[in-house]
Structures are given as C-alpha cells and as structure tokens.
C-alpha cells in the first residue's frame, strides 16, 4: 500500500505467520537469508558480501536481480524486548526510495512454533514523481511481504520434513 499525506509517498507492508518449527531453526534461516538471499528471495541471481561486520557494524551486502537491478543494503541483527530477534535490512544508495525491511522472529509458548513478522517501510525520495510505479516486485508492497513470509514458512517447514 502506498500512502501520501501531501508528500512523500510511503510504501508499507506487514504480515505475520506462525511456523511449525523451533525458534532456533527459524532464526538460523533468517541469518542464512542474509548470506544466501537467492535461496529465500525469488529473482536474486548474484550476491556480494561487501563487509561481514559484527551485530553493531552490520553486514553490508549487494545483490542483483535477474533484470539487472542492484540492491545495496546494510543488515543489522538485534534482540527484541520479548525474547525475539530482528534482522533489519536498511537500503543504501537506492535512487528511488529510502527505508528498510524488518524480519522478526518470536518464540511461541510451546517452543516448537515460531511467529515471524516482516515489515517493509520505504519512502520515495524527494523529487521522484509519485506516479512512477512502486519499486517493488509486482508493485504491491503488501502482496510482496505476504509472499516473502509464506515463502520463508514453506522453506523452513520443508527443511524439517526432509
């Protein structure tokens, strides 16, 4: 969904789902997504880890889509107040938008299930015409987030059934 209140244009999408997997398994998949996004993000064909920093410095990554679009990010990992963990993908050098995508994981009571929530918040840069299509696959941030969350759920649950 893109919203405007005069200016700027903001793209937002958020979705949560429960995964039939222990928290540690889901968290490991989210960490693997940092280093091997092509496994988790359809359309990614090349990945370069520019700097593999610690949790404070972050991991700087460049990746490319099949259409040749480059995505440059710094990625931070942190704990939440309620025993969860977050991976924060912060955009760098994007000529159209600024912002981030959060991937959060939270252990559920029984220990064998985990809730994940992905949140996308991008703001169109000043001077970029609002009528240009959203720089999101398919143009719909909510649909893109739902697809990403359900894809992660499928990947994790299938890995446990092998």
Q: Is residue 93 part of a domain?
A: yes
Distance CA 154, CA 72 (A): 26
Which helix (H) or strand (E) segment holds residue 20: the answer is none
The predicted model scores a pTM of: 0.89
Lowest average pLDDT, out of 5-14, 39-48, 121-130, goes to 5-14
Q: What is the CATH number of the domain that holds 21?
A: 3.30.530
Q: How far is CA 45 from CA 30, 148, 149, in A?
A: 18, 17, 20
Q: Is residue 124 part of a domain?
A: yes
Which residue has better confidence, 72 or 55? 72
Which helix (H) or strand (E) segment holds residue 141: the answer is helix 141-160
Question: What is the per-residue pLDDT for 68?
Answer: 85
Domain tally for the chain? 1
Q: Is residue 127 part of a domain?
A: yes
Q: Is residue 47 part of a domain?
A: no
Q: Is residue 154 part of a domain?
A: yes
Q: Is residue 146 part of a domain?
A: yes
Contact 59, 51 (CB under 8 A): yes
List the structure tokens of 24: 């540690």
| Mean pLDDT within 29-52 | 93
Distance CA 7, CA 85 (A): 33
Question: What is the per-residue pLDDT for 67?
Answer: 83
| Mean pLDDT within 32-38 | 94
Contact 23, 156 (CB under 8 A): no
């Amino acid at each position: 969904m893109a919203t405007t209140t005069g200016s700027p244009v903001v793209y937002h999408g958020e979705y949560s789902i429960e995964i039939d997997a222990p928290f540690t398994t889901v968290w490991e998949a989210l960490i693997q997504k940092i280093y091997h996004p092509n496994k988790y993000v359809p359309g990614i064909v090349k990945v370069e880890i520019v700097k593999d920093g610690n949790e404070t410095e972050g991991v700087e990554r460049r990746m490319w889509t099949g259409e040749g679009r480059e995505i440059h990010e710094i990625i931070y990992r942190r704990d939440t107040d309620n025993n969860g963990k977050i991976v924060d993908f912060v955009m760098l050098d994007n000529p159209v938008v600024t912002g981030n995508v959060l991937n959060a994981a939270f252990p559920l009571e029984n220990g064998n299930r985990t809730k994940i929530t992905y949140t996308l918040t991008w703001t169109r840069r000043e001077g970029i015409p609002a009528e240009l299509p959203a720089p999101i696959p398919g143009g719909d941030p909510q649909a893109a987030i739902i697809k990403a969350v359900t894809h992660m759920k499928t990947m994790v649950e299938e890995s446990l059934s092998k």
